Amino acid sequence: MSIETLLQQPFGTVPQMLAAQAQARPEVAAIVDDERSVSFRQLDALMDEVASALQRQRLAPTQCIAICAHSSIEYLAVFLGALRAGVAVSPLAPSSTAEQLHMMLQDCAASFLFLDRAVAQLLAPIAEQLQAKRIALDASPAGQSLVDWLAPADGAKPAPVTLEPAWPFNIIYSSGTTGAPKGIVQSHAMRWNHVTRGVDLGYGPGAVTLCSTPLYSNTTLVSVFPTLALGATLVLMRRFDAVRFLELAQKHRATHAMLVPVQYRRIMAVPHFDSFDLTSFRMKFSTSAPFPAELKADVLERWPGGLTEYYGMTEGGGSCRLLAHEHPDKLHTVGQPMPGHEVRLIDEDGKEVAAGEIGEVVGRSASMMNGYHNQPEKTAAAEWYSADGLRFIRTGDIGRFDEDGFLILMDRKKDMIISGGFNIYPSDIEAVIALHPDVLEAAVVGVPSEKWGETPVAFVTPRPGRTLDLAALAQFVSERVGKTQRPSVYEIAESLPRSAIGKVLKRELRDSFTRSAGD
């Protein structure tokens, strides 16, 4: 079946698309990894080898394997080959603890763990407890070598598997910063939706996506699969470095990139940023964390190509999209609900709020998780049903729509501070602190207070080469916010703690402050 015909179907699969790309453009580079690359023909053959090996091991469709390693051609070949066999993939974060990895492997019941040397060293203290067979992706002694595991490889063809829309495509685990990680089950239908919308985003033959975020993150995968399925080239960065990113973008004539806000900040701060030729860019994307309006404005002014911000969740539901290059007056928002996406706001009692009022963001679309793996109670808690019985996913975010239907986020529901009976949104205070010329970035958290219940505390990172006077900063902020919003304490932080995908870990800030206050 041709690529065009596949894309016209209500449901297709990523493995089907890659087989079609191997026929249509066999020698075009599919993945570039440092000085190595594989063509679509070679990638398709590797996928067949992986699928055949899993079938020889008697893995049935909908069963699971896990991958925990740094980005590489082998990582993606195993991921995609498993999908061809109907096997679900759980991409795990190498930044997890050994105990977390053990728990996630047990939860997804992975028969095989594909890993590299660094992850094997991390797991060494609990290696004897692991039931999954280990396969080394990097020719290290982390497990059986991938080459040996794949053999016999010559012309290996797997038995055809007809993938069902509801079958699990992958199980992605939440970061676990607020407790035990939850396995988010995403279906083949959900991923197909990502592929088809990629056509309108400019992915396709001749496009080049520069991938600098880790492959276990949904932020990365929503860009990776459309890139490959639609015949574009994927350039992998194993570790992000701002200058190296710019060098690779110029070298490979990158057209697309998915970056988190902290990466944009670091790239735009490169002193010789303007010396790089970035005119090949068609579109840049961002998601996963708050994207300050002034940073968006700087990207629009100095970096060619469009800028699209997505607001949504790995769990799916309703997503918003801000085409920043088309709406430069709406940079303080996360845009409008995407086509086919419905977003509503509800109060504490689960009732929809009136126009212009603040409420929790809930949404629905064709891109929704099946649920949390093995956790029906948490799945139910993440759902909201409208009066007419429609299923929505709760985000835990607080926001309001402006008069033009653009969503303005206030904060995470769990991060909202209640001080003296007043609701305080940390993002409002952070935005004011960031206006100070000596401040690079800030995070505000609520800590216990005997007098007020909770009180705001600000952690502030100075701009490089600047000396930050905290008393002067406090005066600066006090002149621009209400009395209840004024932080009771300011602390300088050389850097803010972040997850591997760039989210500020406010729980760590809150816990460290509480511990130090108790000493």
pLDDT of residue 176: 46
Query: Is 60 exceeded by the pLDDT of residue 180?
Result: yes
Measured between alpha carbons, how far is 122 from 344 in angstroms, rounded to an integer? 43
Measured between alpha carbons, how far is 72 from 18 in angstroms, rounded to an integer? 18
* Phi/psi of residue 517, nearest 5 degrees: -70, -25
318: which DSSP letter? -
pLDDT in tens, 258-287: 999 889 999 999 999 999 999 999 999 999
Q: In the chain, which residues fall in CATH 3.40.50.980?
A: 3-239
β-partners of residue 362 are: 344, 394
% of the chain at pLDDT higher than 90: 85
Query: Is 90 exceeded by the pLDDT of residue 404?
Result: yes
pLDDT of residue 244: 98
* Phi/psi of residue 397, nearest 5 degrees: -100, 150
Measured between alpha carbons, how far is 226 from 474 in angstroms, rounded to an integer? 47
**How much is the average pLDDT of 173-186?**
74
% of the chain at pLDDT higher than 70: 98
Q: Residue 154: CA atoms inside 13 Å, Cβ hemisphere, count?
A: 0
pLDDT of residue 151: 84
Q: In the chain, which residues fall in CATH 3.30.300.30?
A: 416-518
**How much is the average pLDDT of 322-337?**
98
CATH number of 416-518: 3.30.300.30
pLDDT in tens, 497-512: 998 778 899 989 999 8
CA separation, residue 117 to residues 141, 339, 387 (Å): 7, 44, 52
Give the pairing type, strands 391-401 and 383-385: antiparallel
Q: In the chain, which residues fall in CATH 2.30.38.10?
A: 312-411
pLDDT of residue 518: 64
pLDDT of residue 154: 65
Query: Is 60 exceeded by the pLDDT of residue 16?
Result: yes
Measured between alpha carbons, how far is 23 from 189 in angstroms, rounded to an integer? 24
Q: At what angle do helices 261-268 and 242-252 cross, to 10 degrees?
A: 90
Q: Is 311 helix (H, G, I), strand (E, B) or coil?
A: strand
Write down how long the chain is. 519
Degrees, nearest 5: CA angle 172-137-262: 50
Model confidence band, residue 289 (pLDDT cutoffs 50, 70, 90): confident
pLDDT in tens, 193-243: 999 999 999 999 999 999 999 999 999 999 999 999 999 999 999 999 999
**How much is the average pLDDT of 486-494?**
95
CA separation, residue 410 to residues 256, 332, 360, 428 (Å): 29, 11, 10, 7
CATH number of 3-239: 3.40.50.980
pTM of this structure: 0.86
What tokens were used for 364? 């629905």
pLDDT of residue 177: 42
Query: Is 50 exceeded by the pLDDT of residue 178?
Result: no
Measured between alpha carbons, how far is 412 from 446 in angstroms, rounded to an integer? 12
Query: Is 60 exceeded by the pLDDT of residue 125?
Result: yes
**How much is the average pLDDT of 12-41?**
97
Q: What would be the CATH architecture of the domain defined by 312-411?
A: Roll (2.30)
Measured between alpha carbons, how far is 170 from 88 in angstroms, rounded to an integer? 5
Residue 53, Cβ density class (10 Å: 0-12 exposed, 13-18 middle, ≥19 buried): buried
Sorted by sequence, the CB contacts under 8 Å of residue 109 that are 6+ apart come out as 63, 64
Sorted by sequence, the CB contacts under 8 Å of residue 71 that are 6+ apart come out as 33, 211, 214, 215, 236, 237, 238
Sorted by sequence, the CB contacts under 8 Å of residue 213 that are 6+ apart come out as 219, 220, 240, 258, 259, 260, 263, 501, 502
What tokens were used for 43? 């990638």
pLDDT in tens, 354-363: 999 999 999 9
Measured between alpha carbons, how far is 494 from 312 in angstroms, rounded to an integer? 30
**How much is the average pLDDT of 374-398?**
95
pLDDT of residue 64: 98
Q: Is 346 helix (H, G, I), strand (E, B) or coil?
A: strand
Q: Which amino acid is at 501?
A: I
Q: How far does CA 119 lie from the centroid of its chain? A: 21
Q: Which helix (H) or strand (E) holds 73?
A: helix 73-84
Measured between alpha carbons, how far is 334 from 321 in angstroms, rounded to an integer? 6
**How much is the average pLDDT of 17-43?**
97
What tokens were used for 436? 């100070």
pLDDT in tens, 435-474: 999 999 999 999 988 888 889 999 999 999 999 999 999 9
pLDDT of residue 519: 60
Model confidence band, residue 395 (pLDDT cutoffs 50, 70, 90): very high
Measured between alpha carbons, how far is 69 from 92 in angstroms, rounded to an integer? 8
pLDDT of residue 484: 86
Query: Is 90 exceeded by the pLDDT of residue 493?
Result: yes
Q: State the average pLDDT for the chain.
A: 94
CA separation, residue 258 to residues 117, 217, 266, 488 (Å): 27, 11, 14, 37
Cα torsion 451, 412, 390, 172 to 10°: value is -130
